[in-house]
A and B are shown apart, each in its own frame.
Chain A
Amino acid sequence: MPRYLLEIKDLVVKYYALSGIVRAVDHVSLAVKPGEWISVVGESGCGKSTMAYSIARLISPPGKIVDGKIVFDGRDLLRTSPKEFRKILGREIGVVFQDPMTSLDPLRRIGDQIAEVYMTHLGMKKKEAIEKAIEVLERVGIPRDKISAYPHQMSGGQRQRVAIAIAVALRPKLLIADEPTTALDVIVQDTIMDLLQSFKKEGTSILFITHDLALAAERSDRIAVMYAGKLVEEGPAEKIVENPLHPYTQGLLKSVPDLWGPKKIESIPGYPPDLRSPPPGCRFHPRCRYAGESCRREEPVLRCFGEHCVACHRAWVK
């Protein structure tokens, strides 16, 4: 068994906008082990979703994957033929999107939409596929009589369960979940997280994209933090939470309210940079209180201390 299920190496994704070229993902590398839950955390526009969509090859113009390698289960995903790739996507890789209200086809019964995955990938007959659809629907906690319901007849939480059911229907090795709980209220959020975790326990690796570090910390094995298209810190979840090395990660943690401590909530001053012309040196330096001369000139590389990696000139100085 290979050490990694998924390896992203030096991925570069650019958006060719009218006003300039946006480097949405800039030389990011990340690896996911089999059965692992890894969360990618960052603010809006930091490139975390772009990175995730690159794996599923869902980047469309004006976006383009410019450089890098994505190796999944021994295959280079960016170099497989579209036909070959369609057999992987939906079968070995499942994707759940942010907004359950819009991610299902409003004109088709959910049963048909689930069954279609079985019919497409396993060549099942309709009847058999519907049986399987009922099975997976019950597995995600939706009663079987909803099989012939239309999406508009269900709540947001139920729809997200359906979306998850479709994504895991063929027991993929990797489940990419892009902010699957952001559009839902907090109580529903939790049940969806439980559901995802139950699939992890059955062996599915989960790549969880979120802006919510606290949410990520609860369930992840490892956490990767992205800022302005760069991976700035990565490591085991408890290390990231207890001993964050990057000032940005520290800032993120301080902006999370703590129920058990008299902690003051602080926000990070300033705004993420314009990715059409990012600042020289470390991209975080204009907002960083520890920034020194080297931060303004030189781009920090990712350095690892055991399993804990960080891209910061000052990570050990402070």
Chain B
Amino acid sequence: MRVFVWISLLMSLFYVTSCSTSGAGNSAKNTAPVAKQASYDRDYASMLSGSCTTCHIQGAKNTSKIPAIHGMEKEILFEILKAFKYSEYESGTMEKIAKTFSDEELELMSYYFAEQK
């Protein structure tokens, strides 16, 4: 169960962040800039992301049981994915999916989704 507490914490951090940035208004500069890394293998990350986009809708509201991941902060998404990967609790879908990827691949996907609006 520990993974859930950890993931919930990270998720709430994400929502707080996204609230505060959207609260600052569209014209204001993003106070929590999305981590960007020009040099990462975007092509490969895009291929990997196909495993995510069947369920996670771009532009979805965060009321869904399947949360929005497009535009999520890279570090937060990366930590969540690792938490799923190393979780011993396997009741859900994400624990099973995350296990198939290397940490490097999870990080690539995190970069990729951070860039998506």
Chains A and B come from one and the same complex: no
B positions within 8 Å CB-CB of A: none
A positions within 8 Å CB-CB of B: none
